[in-house]
Every structure is written in C-alpha cells, then in structure tokens.
Structure 1
Amino acid sequence: MSLNIRLCSSSAFLGLAFILGVWFINPVYAAQNEIAKIDRIVAVVDQAVITEHELAERIRTVTAQLKKQGGAGLPPDDVLEKQILERLINDSLQLQLAAQTGLRVDDAQLDKTIERIAEQNKMTVAEFRKELENEGISYRKFRDDIRSEITLARLREREVDNRINISEAEVDNYLTSQASRGEVQDEFEVSHILIRVPEDASPEVLQKQRSKAEQALKQLTDGAPFAQVSASMSDAPNALEGGSLGWKTASQIPALFVDALKLLQTNQLTPVLRSPNGFHLLKLTNKRGGSSPLVIEQTHTRHILIKLSEVVSESEAKHRMDTIKERLDNGKDFAELARQYSEDGSAANGGDLGWVNPGDTVPPFEQAMNALKPGEISAPVKSPFGWHIIQVMERRKQDMTKDAARVKARQEIRARKADEAYQDWAHELRDRAYVDMRLEDKY
C-alpha cells in the first residue's frame, strides 16, 4: 500500500519556483536489518555534520520519488549526490537556526500532525503506524522527519513570510496590469528549471551559467526527461521533485514566463529565459481557461441571541426565547427587542448583521436563515452560540468577482514576494555558514 504522507496542501510557496508548499516523506528507508557500515562524515555544517548514511538514505528516497514520477533514466550518481547533499546542508543550517532561536515543535503538536496524516490515509494512528512498519519505515525516524519538516515550515513563516507586507496600491497596480495584459483567465500547467546567477556575477560566471542552461535545453530537446534534467542541473528548491510547478494562473508567475508560455503548444519548451535571478527553462504541460465570474446570493439579516452559560441553562434560554418570539408575533418591533434582550455584539444595531455571504455563519443558523422568505421571522434556533431568533430582511444577487479578485491578488503578491525573499534568505544563510564538503573522501 502506498501511503499519502502530507503535512500541508496550500498556501506556502518555496523559492523562485513558485511551487506549492507540500512537504512529504517518501516511504523508502534502508531496511532495518541492513548491516551498518562505518558512518563517514560527508559534510561539516557549522555545528552539525551530515553522515554518509544520511546522504545514502536521502538518495534512496529521492531516487524512488523520481521513478514514481515516471521519469525514464536518472541523473548520474555523482550529480544527484551533490544536489541532494546541498539540500541536506540547507536543511541542516535552517534546523540549527531554529534550535538556536528557540523554535521547537513539541510532542503534542507533532501528534496532531501525525493524526491528520493518518486521517488522510483513512486510518487510525495505530493502523498507520502498523502500515509504516509493514513498509519498513521506522516510526521513530518518521516522527523525527515530520518534526523537522514542521520546524522548517515554521522557521520560514517566522523569518520570511510574516515579514511580507502588501499595500492597497500594490493590489491596484497588480489588477491593472492583469487587465491590460488580458490574461486573467489563463492557467498553465508548467515545469521549471532554474540556473541561478549570483548577484554581481562576473562576465565569466554569467557565461558559464548561460552555457549550463543551454546544455540543459539541449538535453531536453534530445529527449531527456524533464524530471531527470531538473534533478541534475536545476537550482530551484523543487529540483529533486522534478521541477513541476503544477497549475498556475498567469498572475501567479512572472510576465517573462507568461509571454514565453503563450507562444507554446502543449509539451513544448521555451528557449532559455533570463531574469535577475538567473536563467530559466519552462515546459508547458497543459493550458486552460480560468474561473468564471463569482455571483453569490447575499442575505440581509438580523437576529436576537441568548447565550448559554453556567448561570443560564438551555431550558431557561429556550424559555426566554419563546417569550421573545411570542412578543414578536404580537407585533413588537424586532430591533427594539434585539437592543433590549440580545447578547450579541449586534444588539446596539437592533440585531442587524448586514449582508451575509454563504458560509459566514454556522450551519444551524445558515440553514434556518435560508429557509426564510424576506420579512419572515424564525422560531428559536439552537446553535453552538446559544438560541437565536432570525429575521430575513431582503436578499440580493451580488457579483463578488472584484472582491474575490482583490483577495486573490493579495495572496498571489504575498506568495511571489515571499518566494523571492525566501530564496535570498536561504542563500544568505548558506553564504554566512561554515561548510566543509568531504564527498571526495569517499573515493
């Protein structure tokens, strides 16, 4: 059985590659009964070391991932080894920084994450643990890996994501740019290779990196699988996962990419593209139109709430509501009774909640509200907050496309700025560190 082991599904992006922040541990570990070899050190990373066993284990995992993606052929062993060692070095530096600055994932947080992973696999934790053992995965090692992945994600949130600010002017400019390009609806399924160019690179370094990008393009045009070339040559954070970015709207990727992708047919490649970050190669896997206008039904509603508490029992609250409902039925003004009796924050406004969108309220409230015609008043309704009496005042169809577009634009601006900031932060951390690579000692 193949386990689905995911820590999160949305909203985080990693590096220039704009990939969705999905972390997973592939169920490929060394057999527990394998005879242990002398564990050589292959890299010293500040106060930590990376051993040959750790490197070999990660190589097995990544190799299995690439094979699962259907890529025919793998990068040469020495190339793959160096790529994976770089990933381990970056992870080690970030985990050390997390430890030094007091960022910890306690057992309770870890247990909740593992419970969620088990649920995704439709198992209890006990069943999930048993399945791990059946696939040769040490549960202790699995917990350690998941703890590390959570730590890395939270470190990025603290050091990068939470420091990103977006102004209303940025959102306005973003939407104006979208409209002028006429590409708001376009979505691309794309894969990406990055050949990074350092800041202030010399002409010699620039030419070397350009030649590397041209070499990668030649391998692809000669028929090499994209995932293989990505794993061998790309500097993008998702290089070892095949370079896939998944589906991206035109507004989620740079205009440079969009302009190049517009000229492609499915499964075609771009030429080498140049940006301030380096050289890029893109493959268009598919293309489709985007979402349709968002029109929803809004309800203008008001309510009276009696909360439950240690002092007010459910039966007492219900009795009070029945009394209020009787007074409403006898012609008393709803707003006046709301101001007098309601325990909700809307009481001062006569219980008026304004225009309510689908999903804004808890299900029992929404179901009762939806059953009413304008002007009607509900019987007492029980929700987690207490007892309500609801009146629907009017309904309307509202085009929320612009509002939704602003929310989406803000999310996409944040993701792009966080991508760039994370990439720069990770490279600065690497440049400041003491790293002694000892791969040559193996041979």
Structure 2
Amino acid sequence: MRPTLTTLASSSPRFPGPGSLLRSFFIKQTGAIGVALMLGFFASGPATAAGDVQGIAAIVNDSVISRYDLDQRVQLVMATSGIQPTPENIERIREQVLRSLIDEKLQMQEAERLEIEVQQEEVDSAVDGISQRAGMTRDQILSYLKGNGVDEVALYTQIRADTAWNKVISARFAPLVEIGDDEVAEVMQRISQDAEQVQYQLAELYLGFDNPAQEREMSVGAQRLVEQMRAGAPFSSVAQQFSQAASAANGGDIGWVAESQLTPEIANAIRNMSVGTVSDPVRTHN
C-alpha cells in the first residue's frame, strides 16, 4: 500500500429519503512523483535559453528540463490556477511544478517505450475543449496566455503529456478489464445500500510519496497549496495543475459518494468540515 496525502474540498452532505436517487461524492488530491537529478531550481534570475547548460533545472534519465521550461510552466500555473503571482507564491510552488514536469518526462518516456504517439489533432482537440469550457475561442486562450508571458508550447507540452499517459494507462489496463454478471449484481446491491446512507460531495487533490523524506517534502507542498486555495485560488484549477489522480481532468470532481465508501481517515476529516471549505492534508494509503 502506497501512502498518500489527500486534501478535501467539501460540499453539502446528502441524507437519504423516500425515493432518493443514488449520488456519489467527490474527493480531490494533489500529487507529483518522480525520480531525477534536480539542479538549482531555487536559483534566482531568468533562464538564458531553453537549451542553455547553465539553465538546467533537472535531468530525467537522458532528458533535460531547462529552467526556461520550468519558468514557463510556473507562469502557466499562475495564469490558470488563480494563485496570485507574487514572488513568494512563485517560489513556493516552484518545486511542486518541477516535480510535475519530472512526472511528465517519465510518463512521456514510458509512452515512447511503448511506441505510443499523440497526434497534433488530439492536442488541438484538447485545447478546443479547454477553450469551450472557459467560454473562449482557442485564439483567445492563446492570446490570454501570451499576455501572461506564457508561450503556447508550454500548454501544448502539458496536454501532449497528459494525453500520452492516458493512452499508456488504457494500453496497459484496458485489455485486463472484464466485467461479469456477478460483478454487476454486486455493484447494484452496493448502490441500493448506499442510497440509504449519508452521502457527501467532495473534491480531491492527491500527492503521493514513497519514503519519509518525500513525505516531509510533500507535506510542506500540500500545505502551501491548501493555503493558496483558502486564500482564494479555485480548487478545480489547482487540482488540474497539480493533482495526479484521474479526477484531475475534471478539476478533482468525483461526484457524490456514500460515507461507507470513504476510508476512516477521510470520513473523519469530512465530518467536521463546512460546505465550501478545504481540509488540511489527510494521510492515507492508496
């Protein structure tokens, strides 16, 4: 079992009643996992060029993450998450953003190993989807990012990595999924039982770690993100940028869930939360 940190955003509990429909609650978690050599990501001053050896932020196997790449992703996060772009906030999220970039490099390397490709049409379609959800055109989105100092390549790179990793997951696990009649019956029985229980609507931000040293780092990073969200940064935007749970694509939204489906740690955290609030990080096992 892999330990994790979970941060919850709470909505109202739903109590059972005559003829009530089944709902499920959603949880949000924050996360980034990766193993790489990291160099000077707290160094001050702008990156000189994307390929400049003096501007290396990390090396992931044989791939380089430049300080320019890191700076661009930080600016992308600031432009899309609602976090105020103060020097203090930029410095605080820099390490977390670098870990996300490291994860993407590892994921892209796995996609390449499996000979999985992402077509430009898929990336364009994803950008169009983002634009539609924001009530803007693609050109307006790109113009907005440019106005905030973000090259469109930074957005396309993130989307390409996300799309590639989704394909890796599908290629790896989809052939193994077989649903039998007994499993359907079990789910239907659980649905019937859950309809009689208190249910919560939640959002999750997920952060994973593999050892005590990483746990300390992730705890600090998770708490900083919590502080930003409590200060007004939208939970969904922060989750989309930092969460590594599957729910990140939906801003961490996983719907309504019965209390019995929660781990004891999460259930205990939720009971004391008010609607619209964000919890402290919760340590669980995944």
Instruction: Please give the TM-score of this superposition, normalised by the length of structure 1.
Output: 0.39
Secondary structure class of the residue paired with 1:37: coil
Q: Which residue of 2 aligns with 1:37?
A: 48
Contact 1:41 1:49 in 2 (8 A): yes
Q: Which residue of 2 aligns with 1:103?
A: 116
C-alpha distance in 2 between matches for 1:138 and 1:212: 31
Secondary structure class of the residue paired with 1:275: strand
Match of 2:274 among 248, 265, 269: 265
Q: Any residues of structure 2 matched to 1:239-250 within 5 Å, and which?
A: 244-246=251-253, 248-250=255-257
Instruction: Extract unaligned runs of 5+ from structure 1.
Output: 1-15, 20-34, 278-443
Q: Which residue of 2 aligns with 1:296?
A: none
Q: Any residues of structure 2 matched to 1:248-397 within 5 Å, and which?
A: 248-250=255-257, 254-256=261-263, 257=266, 261=270, 264-268=273-277, 273-277=282-286
Contact 1:196 1:235 in 2 (8 A): no
Instruction: Extract unaligned runs of 5+ from structure 2.
Output: 1-26, 31-45
Match of 1:84 among 97, 100, 105: 97
1:54 aligns with 2:69: yes
Secondary structure class of the residue paired with 1:250: strand
Secondary structure class of the residue paired with 1:267: coil
Larger relative helix fraction? 2
Read off the aligned partner of 1:63 and give its amino acid letter: M
1:114 aligns with 2:127: no
CA shift at 1:173, angstroms?
Answer: 3.1
C-alpha distance in 2 between matches for 1:87 and 1:53: 15
CA shift at 1:193, angstroms?
Answer: 4.3
CA shift at 1:249, angstroms?
Answer: 1.8
C-alpha distance in 1 between matches for 2:178 and 2:168: 18
C-alpha distance in 2 between matches for 1:263 and 1:179: 26
Contact 2:72 2:154 in 1 (8 A): no
CA shift at 1:212, angstroms?
Answer: 4.0
Q: Which residue of 2 aligns with 1:175?
A: 188
Match of 2:203 among 166, 191, 200: 191
1:298-330: CA deviation from partner (whole Å, max 9, x where unpaired): xxxxxxxxxxxxxxxxxxxxxxxxxxxxxxxxx
CA shift at 1:93, angstroms?
Answer: 1.0
Read off the aligned partner of 2:256 and give its amino acid letter: T
CA shift at 1:98, angstroms?
Answer: 1.4
Instruction: Please give the TM-score of this superposition, normalised by the length of structure 2.
Output: 0.56
Identity fraction in percent: 15
Read off the aligned partner of 1:246 and give its amino acid letter: D
CA shift at 1:259, angstroms?
Answer: 6.7
Match of 1:158 among 145, 168, 171: 171
> Is the alpha carbon distance of 1:248 and 1:42 closer, same or farther for their aligned partners in structure 2, counting shifts above 3 Å?
same
Computing the radius of gyration over CA atoms, which structure comes out larger, 1 or 2?
Answer: 1
C-alpha distance in 2 between matches for 1:194 and 1:121: 25
C-alpha distance in 2 between matches for 1:255 and 1:77: 34
C-alpha distance in 1 between matches for 2:171 and 2:143: 34
Secondary structure class of the residue paired with 2:252: strand
> Is the alpha carbon distance of 1:76 and 1:94 closer, same or farther for their aligned partners in structure 2, counting shifts above 3 Å?
same
C-alpha distance in 2 between matches for 1:265 and 1:153: 34
C-alpha distance in 2 between matches for 1:132 and 1:113: 14
CA shift at 1:88, angstroms?
Answer: 0.6
1:63 aligns with 2:78: yes
Contact 1:186 1:250 in 2 (8 A): yes
C-alpha distance in 2 between matches for 1:160 and 1:260: 32
C-alpha distance in 1 between matches for 2:79 and 2:156: 20
Secondary structure class of the residue paired with 2:275: coil
C-alpha distance in 2 between matches for 1:81 and 1:132: 23
> Is the alpha carbon distance of 1:63 and 1:160 closer, same or farther for their aligned partners in structure 2, counting shifts above 3 Å?
farther
Give the aligned length: 227
CA shift at 1:225, angstroms?
Answer: 5.0
> Is the alpha carbon distance of 1:262 and 1:155 closer, same or farther for their aligned partners in structure 2, counting shifts above 3 Å?
same
> Is the alpha carbon distance of 1:173 and 1:98 closer, same or farther for their aligned partners in structure 2, counting shifts above 3 Å?
same
C-alpha distance in 1 between matches for 2:102 and 2:130: 31
Secondary structure class of the residue paired with 1:266: coil
Q: Which residue of 2 aligns with 1:237?
A: 244
CA shift at 1:103, angstroms?
Answer: 1.2
Read off the aligned partner of 1:179 and give its amino acid letter: S
